[in-house]
Amino acid sequence: MKMRWLVILVLVMLSVIDSASAENRPRNVPVLMYHKVDTLSYDNGWVSAANFEKQLAFLREHGFNSISLADLTDLPDNPILITFDDGWWNAYTVAVPLLEKYDYRGTFFVITGAIGEDEATRRYSPAYGANPKVDYLIWPEILDMASRDHDIESHTVLHPYLTQLSADKLSWELAESKAEIEARTGKPVDALAYPMGDWNLTVAEATAAAGYLTAVTTDSGVANTTTSWTYALPRLAVLGSLTLEQFSHLVMIYPDIPVDFWAGQEIKTCVEKGIISLYADGSYLPNGEVTRAEMAAYIARALAGHDWAIPAGPFWPTFKDVSRKHWAYKYIEYCHSKGIVFGYSDGIYQPEGTITRDQLAVYLARALAGASGVPEFYGKPGFSDIPADFWAYQYIEYCHTIGIVNGYEDGTYQPLRLVTRDQMAVYITRAFHL
């Protein structure tokens, strides 16, 4: 399993270069929200230590890299932000050791007014009684966590509903908690978690004025570097009742497609619109090669709009190697009728043959240009390895001009490189504006 994911990650690195905005694309960042992690469970806010470890093992196996909120401007591949609210003692005794076992870091939002100086002054939550499992942290433990590269951020002083406070009290809650943590740890406090997720524009503006650079909410969703507001980042609540499969749905679009996968949204669009199918086990196999039969099916479905809109095909097959019983018969015949594919000189189609980048440009250009044909291109060649006399030159330049295909960082197009399923989803969504 580990080798499989290593291969997938390597191939992803190779394929992502062709994305128009591979380096500057909007990034999806799952921000996990925990409260208590322990061997006991009093309500759904408690995640058992066993389940927490299974979740961390899942994240590690699938190549997630933990980050801090400060890393949002310079994200690694497959980022994950693991946050904990309130500052419970089990964060130190249970969560931190498990995080470090899997080489992950945590972000802990603490209520400074609940933090004791030492064991003698340790506080506990009256909601659970004097149970040591629900005690709060004390400052020596917080300092130890901070020294081990875990982030200590603010959850205010008294955990009030911030929208109900006067301007002065709001300012005090924000400034006092920030100042105390910074004075104790010697590290900047740049992030706030709104208590109970209670916030509005006034609270957000006060948060910014207090010197915080970002804030997280309890609003459910995946944070996005383009569409999410810095002072209202959504999070994904991890509840005690979640199964590992349910947890996986928080951070994965499909079993092999993380939420920040470079082509994740295009893949999801193509799947949801019935253009590209998942495999029986629910996986997508993004780096799988695309056959000529599959290519015809994808283009036919996108062009026709619906699978049912594609006719069954002629009674007599056009190609000797594609009978009426072939699964892709109607798609291949449809593409042939539209002048998109023509087959080979010996009357065969080779449905199981793979698709290269030059061929795909030809098929997409024909599908989009229709009867009018692909217009002549007389400008400067867009790619160093596609001269004007290359057989697919006009088609590649046409697709490049209208923003369907892009080259690689070295200025090449690499026409003979095989097309993969992740790239196919991107090209389809761009070509047909899905």
Instruction: Report the CATH number that the domain containing residue 166 is assigned in CATH.
Output: 3.20.20.370
3-state SS, residue 37? strand
Sign of CA dihedral 337, 340, 343, 349: negative
304 falls within a domain: yes
Predicted confidence band at 13 (pLDDT cuts at 50, 70, 90)?
very low
Comparing CA positions, the residue from 112, 163, 174 lying closest to residue 139 is 112
- The mean pLDDT of 199-216, rounded to a whole number, is 98
Write the pLDDT tens digit of every residue in 254-268.
999 999 999 999 999
Residue 359 and residue 247 share a domain? no
Write the pLDDT tens digit of every residue in 291-330.
999 999 999 999 999 999 999 999 999 999 999 999 999 9
Write the pLDDT tens digit of every residue in 342-351.
989 999 999 9
Residue 281 and residue 210 share a domain? no
Tokens of 173: 């809650």
Name the domain boundary from 238, 260, 282.
260
Predicted confidence band at 280 (pLDDT cuts at 50, 70, 90)?
very high
Residue 295 and residue 229 share a domain? no
Quote the pLDDT of residue 129.
Answer: 59
Q: Which residues contact 195 (CB under 8 A, 6 or more apart)?
A: 111, 155, 156, 159, 160, 161, 162
Residue 423 and residue 337 share a domain? yes
Find out whether 174 and 192 touch, Cβ atoms under 8 Å. Answer: yes
Find out whether 28 and 260 touch, Cβ atoms under 8 Å. Answer: yes
Residue 207 and residue 325 share a domain? no
391 falls within a domain: yes
256 falls within a domain: yes
Predicted confidence band at 11 (pLDDT cuts at 50, 70, 90)?
very low
Residue 283 and residue 223 share a domain? no
85 falls within a domain: yes
Find out whether 295 and 289 touch, Cβ atoms under 8 Å. Answer: no
Comparing CA positions, the residue from 386, 345, 380, 379 lying closest to residue 362 is 386
Q: Mutual orientation of helices 167-185 and 139-147 as an angle, nearest 10°?
A: 60
Predicted confidence band at 1 (pLDDT cuts at 50, 70, 90)?
very low
Displacement of CA 353 from its chain's centroid (Å): 32
Write the pLDDT tens digit of every residue in 211-228.
999 999 999 999 999 999
Residue 274 and residue 256 share a domain? no
Name the domain boundary from 239, 260, 281.
260
Residue 223 and residue 370 share a domain? no
Q: How many domains is the chain built from? A: 2
**CA distances (Å), origin 101, targets 97, 143, 377:** 6, 19, 58
Give yes or no for residue 193 having a pLDDT over 80.
yes
Pairing verdict, β 257-258 and 252-254? antiparallel
Write the pLDDT tens digit of every residue in 120-145.
999 887 766 555 557 999 999 999 99
2 falls within a domain: no
Write the pLDDT tens digit of every residue in 87-132.
999 999 999 999 999 999 999 999 999 999 999 999 887 766 555 5
Extended strands (E) in 144-213: 151-154, 191-193
Dihedral angle, C-alpha 73, 76, 79, 81, nearest 10 °: -50
Residue 30 and residue 96 share a domain? yes
Q: Which domain holds residue 279?
A: 266-431
Comparing CA positions, the residue from 195, 206, 260 lying closest to residue 231 is 206
Stretch (H or E) spanning 82: strand 79-86
Residue 97 and residue 229 share a domain? yes
10 falls within a domain: no
DSSP type of residue 23 = T
Residue 254 and residue 236 share a domain? yes
357 falls within a domain: yes
Give yes or no for residue 7 having a pLDDT over 60.
no
Quote the pLDDT of residue 12.
Answer: 37
Residue 393 and residue 301 share a domain? yes
Q: How far apart are CA 257 and CA 235, in angstroms?
A: 19
Query: Which residues on neighbouring strands pair with residue 88, listed in sequence order?
Result: 136
Name the domain boundary from 260, 285, 308.
260
Write the pLDDT tens digit of every residue in 21-55.
444 678 999 999 999 998 776 778 889 999 999 99
9 falls within a domain: no
Find out whether 241 and 46 touch, Cβ atoms under 8 Å. Answer: no
Give yes or no for residue 384 having a pLDDT over 80.
yes
Quote the pLDDT of residue 10.
Answer: 35
